[in-house]
Amino acid sequence: MTQQFEKVRALTGMKDILPHESAAWETLEAIVRDWLASYGYRNMRTPVLEQTRLFARGIGEVTDIVEKEMYSFRDALNDEQLTMRPEFTAGMVRATIEHNLLYDRPQRVYCMGPVFRHERPQRGRYRQFHQIDVEALGFAGPDVDAELIIMLARLWKRLGLQDIRLELNSLGQQEERAAHRQALVEHLEKHIDVLDEEAKRRMYTNPLRVLDTKNPAMQDMANQAPRLFDFLGPESLAHFEGVCARLKDAGIEYTLNPRLVRGLDYYNLTVFEWVTDRLGAQGTVCGGGRYDGLLELLGGKPAPAVGFAIGMERLLDLWQQSEAEIKASECDIYVIHQGDEAQRRAALLAETLRDEGYRVLVHAGSTGFKSQFKRADASGASVALIIGPDELAAGHASVKWLRQQEGDTRAQQEMLAFDAIAATLKTRM
Ligand code: HAM
């Protein structure tokens, strides 16, 4: 009797990216790297695991992320409380401080990779997802806020995205937020009867987040709440106007959304989101803003900073709506053979073709010519080389073009001597 083993499945909300999907990911990543390089951004890579207190302090204790979405555990081996990064910013700032990256100049840096949040999965919302995170560290002026937004508009254009719009707000400075907060708490106290349990719980710890509610019964109360924007002093307003003027210079449209507060506590002054209606409920493709207090909060010398993160799954979803299927072939040349000796000749020939830079697949497994041709076709190769007993005896391979289009004058099939194949293909492919 054979034993039946139980299948092991991937975790809920954590998706495999399969070979037929990876071409789109790799193409997007290549475009993104070029785009970032064109603005002078350099890659950095931080660990997936960090100390829990980095995120608790950085993102804020009273945020959804820290309160209920982090994958945290105790590492019993050295008795440390650890968390799988729920975002990049805190880790990048930690690394910047730890390695003293700002000692002689500001830094433009980016990270790309998986982050983890224990949310309820749905389209565009996963527990392991990917971000492109871009940070400009050590820059204080509105010019850099604007540059980041203008840079994003360029990426959307490069990808041919449609229906993506910019929402902008200013969260001012701490003192301005404190004055607003007091007015807001008073407003919430006056409307205590419409507040739900979560709002009541948060009204003194994080009243701004109460306004972010989706609860329809609280919308009127939220709409009438005092607006932070009205509490901004002249300097904060000047910074905001500086950003807006530069966006106007670049012809970028935006809407001022005074309710935009973002889900992380480190922001001040400029905050923004790029949103679309094409992705269902999870329409925010990118979010970011200024966080001038975070370096100091995480133990570094005070330094201003601004950045954003793009959700890659959402960006790909949107991109694939405008782009025909992004497909990549497995190889350029597929080598078909029959018999042991022909297989060995094929393997040698493939090595010489790889020397010339071709991507080559040699058929493996003993199957007939017909099914080998089928495989060759499915691989997306543009040419098949065939080595059977006759070819082997003559020192030739048959060359068959698999993707001839109308008007193509190349013979569909021809014979070429083994040692002439690489040079001949070069002139024909
Ligand atoms: P965030 O708004 O939390 O910001 O996330 C940025 C983007 O990640 C979102 O706009 C969305 O596209 C994507 N995203 C968030 N959660 C999920 C999820 N569960 N599944 C799929 N995609 C998701 C930050 O993370 C900040 N660190 C951004 C930043 C960088 N601010 C300054 N610098």
Q: For 70-129, how does the pLDDT look when each residue is reduced to its tens digit (9 = 90+)?
A: 999 999 999 999 999 999 999 999 999 999 999 999 999 999 999 999 999 999 999 999
| Residue 325: predicted pLDDT | 65
Residue 237 CA to ligand 1 centre (angstroms)? 26
Strand partners, 309: 133, 287
Asked if 329 contacts 380 with a C-beta cutoff of 8 angstroms, the reply is: yes
User: How much of the chain, in percent, has pLDDT values that exceed 90?
Assistant: 83
Are 244 and 168 part of one and the same domain? yes
| Residue 172: predicted pLDDT | 95
Residue 164 falls inside a structural domain: yes
Asked if residue 307 has its Cβ within 6 Å of ligand 1, the reply is yes
Sign for the pseudo-dihedral over CA of 45, 48, 49, 54? positive
Asked if residue 66 has its Cβ within 6 Å of ligand 1, the reply is no
Residue 385 CA to ligand 1 centre (angstroms)? 48
Residue 158 falls inside a structural domain: yes
Residue 29 falls inside a structural domain: yes
Are 342 and 318 part of one and the same domain? no
The CATH number given to whatever domain includes residue 106 is 3.30.930.10
Are 51 and 161 part of one and the same domain? yes
Q: Is the pLDDT of residue 51 over 70?
A: yes
Residue 263 CA to ligand 1 centre (angstroms)? 9
Q: Taking residues 200-221, report their average pLDDT.
A: 87
Residue 38 CA to ligand 1 centre (angstroms)? 23
Mutational test site, ligand 1, from 279, 284, 285, max ligand atoms within 8 Å of CB? 284
> Cα(281)–Cα(386) distance, rounded to whole angstroms?
52
Q: For 269-320, how does the pLDDT look when each residue is reduced to its tens digit (9 = 90+)?
A: 999 999 999 999 999 999 999 999 999 999 999 999 999 999 999 999 999 9
Tokens, residue 125: 């919302």
Are 314 and 343 part of one and the same domain? no
Residue 87 CA to ligand 1 centre (angstroms)? 7
Residue 286 CA to ligand 1 centre (angstroms)? 7
Q: Which atom of ligand 1 is nearest to the CA of 125?
A: 20
Q: Which atom of ligand 1 is nearest to the CA of 315?
A: 12
Asked if residue 320 has its Cβ within 6 Å of ligand 1, the reply is no
Residue that wins the pLDDT comparison between 27 and 367: 27
Mean pLDDT lowest among 83-92, 148-157, 223-232: 223-232
Band (404; pLDDT cuts 50, 70, 90): confident
Question: Given 301, 322, 343, which residue is the final one in a domain?
Answer: 322
Residue 394 falls inside a structural domain: yes
For residue 67, the enclosing domain spans 19-172+232-322
Are 339 and 395 part of one and the same domain? yes
> Cα(339)–Cα(389) distance, rounded to whole angstroms?
7
Are 139 and 285 part of one and the same domain? yes
Q: Which atom of ligand 1 is nearest to the CA of 314?
A: 12
Q: Taking residues 321-347, report their average pLDDT.
A: 88
Residue 209 falls inside a structural domain: no
Mean pLDDT lowest among 152-161, 165-174, 211-220: 211-220
Question: Given 303, 322, 341, which residue is the final one in a domain?
Answer: 322
Q: Is the pLDDT of residue 231 over 90?
A: yes
> Cα(184)–Cα(342) distance, rounded to whole angstroms?
80
Residue 382 exposed, middle or buried by CB count within 10 Å (0-12, 13-18, 19+):
middle
Asked if residue 300 has its Cβ within 6 Å of ligand 1, the reply is no
Residue 308 CA to ligand 1 centre (angstroms)? 8
Residue 281 falls inside a structural domain: yes
Residue 249 CA to ligand 1 centre (angstroms)? 28
Residue with the smallest CA separation from ligand 1 atom 16 is 125
Residue 200 falls inside a structural domain: no
Are 250 and 300 part of one and the same domain? yes
Band (162; pLDDT cuts 50, 70, 90): confident
Asked if residue 267 has its Cβ within 6 Å of ligand 1, the reply is no
As a whole number, the mean pLDDT across the chain is 93
Least Cα distance to 307 among 178, 65, 182, 131 occurs for 131
Q: Which atom of ligand 1 is nearest to the CA of 90?
A: 27
Residue 377 CA to ligand 1 centre (angstroms)? 41
Q: Where do the H-state alpha helices sit in 283-332?
A: 294-297, 312-322
The CATH number given to whatever domain includes residue 408 is 3.40.50.800
C-alpha distance from residue 267 to each of 193, 255, 289, 421 (Å): 30, 19, 6, 61
| Residue 83: predicted pLDDT | 98
Are 23 and 70 part of one and the same domain? yes
Question: Given 322, 353, 376, which residue is the final one in a domain?
Answer: 322
| Residue 1: predicted pLDDT | 66
Total tally of structural domains belonging to the chain: 2
| Residue 324: predicted pLDDT | 65
Residue with the smallest CA separation from ligand 1 atom 8 is 311
Are 257 and 113 part of one and the same domain? yes
| Residue 139: predicted pLDDT | 98
| Residue 258: predicted pLDDT | 86
Are 262 and 314 part of one and the same domain? yes
Are 304 and 347 part of one and the same domain? no
Residue with the smallest CA separation from ligand 1 atom 18 is 125
Residue 127 CA to ligand 1 centre (angstroms)? 12
Strand partners, 259: none
Residue 224 falls inside a structural domain: no
Are 44 and 133 part of one and the same domain? yes
Band (407; pLDDT cuts 50, 70, 90): confident
Residue with the smallest CA separation from ligand 1 atom 23 is 311
